A and B are shown apart, each in its own frame.
Chain A
Amino acid sequence: MAIKDKTYHGHQLIKGVYVTPMNLIPELKLSSWAYERLPDYLWICIVFHLYGRKFGFEIMFAILNYFKDKFKEKIKDISMSSLLNLSDEDQNACFKYLRDILGLGSVFEPLTLFLDLTNYPTFNLCFLGEKTIEEKINIIKEVVKDNYDHNLNAATDVRYCVVIYQIFIGKLLINRNQADCYYEYYKLNHDNAKMRLYRPLIRSTEGATSIGDVELKFKDIFWPRCYELIYCNLLYKKGEKENMDLAKEKLDKLHKVVVYLDKLLNIKYQNNNKALVLFGLLSFSYRNFKELVEHDLFLETSGRSIYRTIIESYINSKVLIKRSVSNQSIWDEYIDYGIGQYKKTLEQKEDYEETASHIDYKQVEFLVNDYRNPIFTNIDIRYALGQMRNLCKEVDEKYLYSLYSFDSNVEHCLWGAVEEAALYKCSEATHGFHWSLAVDGENDLPSVLGDTIYVLNKHLRLINNIYELPDDLKEL
């Protein structure tokens, strides 16, 4: 059966990859406000942080006017990188002006964590005060957190200063229609309706300006040092403990179903491979569900593996039933295929040195020989029934395939599952929200119990359509 490929919104299928529309725009480069530019403008953030918005703008205008009058040719933008690229003499004049004439004192002291005596003596000697390292770190953490998101009002105020300086020195010419924005922005409160138009304009304009091409990039000092000085704040998700009474009740019921089918097999369906295969697959699901419940694996990665196996057991049963209409020998073929796989393992045994292993070769050999003389057993290296995606479509269980496919991430160690289960997210903004290893394995995954019962019930209904189950065992 030909199956039409799925399409994803706006994506284009190129050589097996669905490419998102953004990645189809040529020359488009990402420039992160937080990572690329925030460190350079952190000194402005500190001014607003300490003096508030109104007084902060007054101070910033005084500073920007001073920069324009004294260093117009030398300070092309107000990034810390540009300030640090001034000569020692100019830096000295500039920093002392800020400290003494404007009376800012050691306002920029938190930045001495980065601009140290060894490498940036002018700044350090000018601004080192009496704050402890912890006090400075706390200010940096607060300021970064308050300005990390480029859409925040506080960050937009800072970006306004960046843009307005470009206008002051004549580097940026503004459209007459936009003049009101720049003239009014700092006077209006953020809750003023006009600001809803002004803020995006400021942000997009700032985004289009760039920090000058300077040798030293402050961000290259800032981020690594934040990582050194500040502890991680790791986030992990605690799931809710499952209702064990309910789970055990369902397990008990499924156990009764298996006992019933076992009796049925022995009494009525001896030497019937169809019943053997269908009951066997359900028994296999029961075994998996028993492990899930008895070992309380609902919130674990192994819970997902179990759930995925239970789906596969159900889908296989449904496919076999469907195909058996046109192929009566499909049950034998299914057994043949499985025993062939065990035979393959025996054949491969000779290729490897014997090591401690969970494979019980004697048991495997017994199973292979028990079925028939192995010289008549083929080894089929194709999929058993076909690819899972196709099988689910074949039996109208596309929804289950999406769940199965999601849990394949766990099964195949794909990165999404690794992040979800084996890593912690650090919520510390100064660390750039990096990942850490989940050393104590506290990350709980959402419980699989509900989904598992849903699939098992489908499986029971499937069986019940052919071999009637007792009334009280038709549903878990």
Chain B
Amino acid sequence: MNREVRSVIEKINKEYLLILEKLSSDFCDEKYLRYIINEISLFWSRKRKEVLFIVEYLGNDSYNATFFTGAVSLDVNENEHIPFLLCGEYCIYDDPLPSFLKVVNVEPILNKLFIEKATNSIKDNIYTLKNCSKTIIILPLRYLLVNEEESKKATDVSNNLFLVLFDSKFNSMKDYFNSIKTKQDFLNSINKNVGSKLLFNNDDSLSTPLEERIDNYCKSFNLKTNNYPVAAYQAYFSIILQSVIIFMMAEKTIFTPFIRSRQTVNNFIVIADVLLSNNINKDDFDKTLLIRTLYYSYLYQYFINNGFDKNKIAQIDNGSFSNKLYKYLIDNNFKMNSKLVANYIDNAGLKNN
């Protein structure tokens, strides 16, 4: 890594740790959480130029940088970060804390679950900065990269993606609302191969009928189903948008996303398929990135499902592992399945004996 970039990262890490420690010791009462999140957002807004500098000059081979997003903690104290470390020479954790600003500045009273989540994130960040600052770089990529303009673009792409989930051809959202009037219209038109493969939350199951799954989602978010086409659109839009935003961050940084949540991984894979087969915004997304993302997701799933020796993995040079894995995948013509990854890991001797 370029030493100027390294020194900027070190400086930011040091300052961020100092601020987090001071805030969590001086303002431990939960009534200060709103102020703390504001302070963290201010800190990162101040560091915007440095963060963009790091993103631009992190390495010559940015494909070898990976970012972990879509989670509120890294759980380093439970070694949950280890599969992440295998996915790139430079591992960036997308700090979720400044993005909480949207919640704390809108909600007059913060709910217990949110307070717990945010407090844990702060502790997790402190732990990571103290123990893994040499291997993990904490940067709030989403907070700093997805501005209002980008959000609008993500909305447009998500709407386009939503429209290709149907067997009928819809050219616009207007077309969709003109054609789909009832629940039955919707269920008859949605493409079963794609539309029913998206997960609405982490507890959702693909074996449950789609109709029931959409109803459950609407119930959990208090969406009224009397206007079914709108409710179904809202349900799909939010989960598509999440994946699209991850794509956009990847596109802007040329870093590969590492996604841990079961729902997000599943949706990302489905949407990647749709993107690749329908050529939606094909110029905006780099196929290499998509393929790497898919394989990193397989890699994580493999570790979760098979168990692994964390100590063995900790000794591996993360950069060389991800590069060798990628080369192995190229040699195998990028067959889009998880068996390749599993074979590779089996041969690397990382499993528990």
Please list the residues of chain A having a beta carbon within 8 angstroms of any beta carbon in chain B: 112-113, 116-118, 121, 124-125, 128, 130, 132-133, 225, 228-229
B45 partner, pick from A112, A117, A118, A133, beta carbons under 8 A: A133
Report the stretch among B35-43, B130-138, B251-259, B321-329 that lies at the interface: B35-43
CB contacts (< 8 Å) of B32 on chain A: these are 117
Tell me whether B45 and A229 are in contact (CB under 8 A): yes
Cα(A117)–Cα(B38), bound, Å: 9
Cα(A125)–Cα(B39), bound, Å: 11
Tell me whether A132 and B19 are in contact (CB under 8 A): no
Interface string of B29-54 (1 = CB under 8 A from A): 00010111011011001111100000
Look across to chain B and name the residue whose beta carbon is closest to the beta carbon of A232: B49
How far, in Å, is A404 (CB) from chain B's closest CB? 41
B172 within 8 Å of A (CB atoms): no
B22 partner, pick from A112, A118, A125, beta carbons under 8 A: A118
CB contacts (< 8 Å) of A128 on chain B: these are 34-35, 38
Tell me whether A121 and B26 are in contact (CB under 8 A): yes
Tell me whether A117 and B35 are in contact (CB under 8 A): yes
Tell me whether A133 and B41 are in contact (CB under 8 A): yes
How far, in Å, is A42 (CB) from chain B's closest CB? 17
Q: Determine chain B's interface SS by DSSP, over half rule.
A: helix
Cα(A424)–Cα(B105), bound, Å: 38
Cα(A228)–Cα(B47), bound, Å: 7
Cα(A113)–Cα(B45), bound, Å: 10
Cα(A296)–Cα(B5), bound, Å: 39
How far, in Å, is A129 (CB) from chain B's closest CB? 9
Tell me whether B36 and A117 are in contact (CB under 8 A): yes
How far, in Å, is B149 (CB) from chain A's closest CB? 13
CB contacts (< 8 Å) of B48 on chain A: these are 228-229
Cα(A229)–Cα(B48), bound, Å: 8
Cα(A130)–Cα(B41), bound, Å: 13
Please list the residues of chain B having a beta carbon within 8 angstroms of any beta carbon in chain A: 19, 22-23, 26-27, 32, 34-36, 38-39, 41-42, 45-49, 105
CB contacts (< 8 Å) of B42 on chain A: these are 112-113, 116, 133
CB contacts (< 8 Å) of B34 on chain A: these are 128
Cα(A228)–Cα(B15), bound, Å: 14
Tell me whether B105 and A130 are in contact (CB under 8 A): yes
A-B contact pairs, 8 of them (CB 8 A): A117-B35, A117-B39, A121-B27, A132-B105, A133-B42, A228-B45, A228-B46, A228-B49
How far, in Å, is B39 (CB) from chain A's closest CB? 4
Look across to chain B and name the residue whose beta carbon is closest to the beta carbon of A132: B105
B39 partner, pick from A116, A130, A225, A228, beta carbons under 8 A: A116
> Contacts A117-B23, A132-B105 given; 16 further ones with Cβ under 8 A?
A112-B38, A112-B42, A116-B39, A116-B42, A117-B27, A117-B32, A117-B35, A117-B38, A118-B39, A121-B26, A124-B35, A124-B39, A128-B35, A133-B45, A228-B47, A228-B49
Tell me whether A225 and B46 are in contact (CB under 8 A): yes
CB contacts (< 8 Å) of A117 on chain B: these are 23, 27, 32, 35-36, 38-39
Q: Determine chain A's interface SS by DSSP, over half rule.
A: helix
With A132-B105, A133-B41, A229-B45 in contact, is A118–B23 under 8 Å at CB? Answer: yes
With A117-B23, A117-B27 in contact, is A229–B46 under 8 Å at CB? Answer: yes
Cα(A128)–Cα(B26), bound, Å: 17
CB contacts (< 8 Å) of B26 on chain A: these are 121
CB contacts (< 8 Å) of A228 on chain B: these are 45-49
How far, in Å, is B273 (CB) from chain A's closest CB? 37
CB contacts (< 8 Å) of A229 on chain B: these are 45-46, 48
CB contacts (< 8 Å) of B39 on chain A: these are 116-118, 124
Cα(A442)–Cα(B38), bound, Å: 39
Cα(A225)–Cα(B38), bound, Å: 16
CB contacts (< 8 Å) of B36 on chain A: these are 117
Look across to chain B and name the residue whose beta carbon is closest to the beta carbon of A129: B105
CB contacts (< 8 Å) of B46 on chain A: these are 225, 228-229
Cα(A229)–Cα(B23), bound, Å: 21
Pairs A-B, 8 closest by C-beta atoms: A228-B46, A117-B39, A133-B45, A117-B35, A130-B105, A118-B22, A118-B19, A229-B46
Look across to chain B and name the residue whose beta carbon is closest to the beta carbon of A113: B42
Look across to chain A and name the residue whose beta carbon is closest to the beta carbon of B34: A128
Cα(A249)–Cα(B35), bound, Å: 70
CB contacts (< 8 Å) of A113 on chain B: these are 42
Cα(A112)–Cα(B45), bound, Å: 13
How far, in Å, is A439 (CB) from chain B's closest CB? 13
How far, in Å, is B333 (CB) from chain A's closest CB? 41
Cα(A229)–Cα(B42), bound, Å: 9
CB contacts (< 8 Å) of A125 on chain B: these are 35
How far, in Å, is B86 (CB) from chain A's closest CB? 35
CB contacts (< 8 Å) of B27 on chain A: these are 117, 121
How far, in Å, is A436 (CB) from chain B's closest CB? 12
Cα(A118)–Cα(B19), bound, Å: 7
CB contacts (< 8 Å) of A121 on chain B: these are 26-27
Look across to chain A and name the residue whose beta carbon is closest to the beta carbon of B35: A117
How far, in Å, is B118 (CB) from chain A's closest CB? 15
CB contacts (< 8 Å) of A124 on chain B: these are 35, 39
Q: Which of B19, B23, B46, B47 has the most CB of A within 10 A?
A: B46
How far, in Å, is B129 (CB) from chain A's closest CB? 16
How far, in Å, is B112 (CB) from chain A's closest CB? 22
CB contacts (< 8 Å) of A112 on chain B: these are 38, 42
Cα(A133)–Cα(B19), bound, Å: 18
How far, in Å, is A416 (CB) from chain B's closest CB? 28
CB contacts (< 8 Å) of B49 on chain A: these are 228
Look across to chain B and name the residue whose beta carbon is closest to the beta carbon of A121: B26
CB contacts (< 8 Å) of B105 on chain A: these are 130, 132
CB contacts (< 8 Å) of B35 on chain A: these are 117, 124-125, 128
Look across to chain B and name the residue whose beta carbon is closest to the beta carbon of A125: B35
How far, in Å, is B41 (CB) from chain A's closest CB? 6
How far, in Å, is A434 (CB) from chain B's closest CB? 13
Look across to chain B and name the residue whose beta carbon is closest to the beta carbon of A130: B105
Q: Which of A116, A118, A133, A225 has the most CB of B within 10 A?
A: A118
Q: Which of B19, B45, B48, B49 has the most CB of A within 10 A?
A: B45
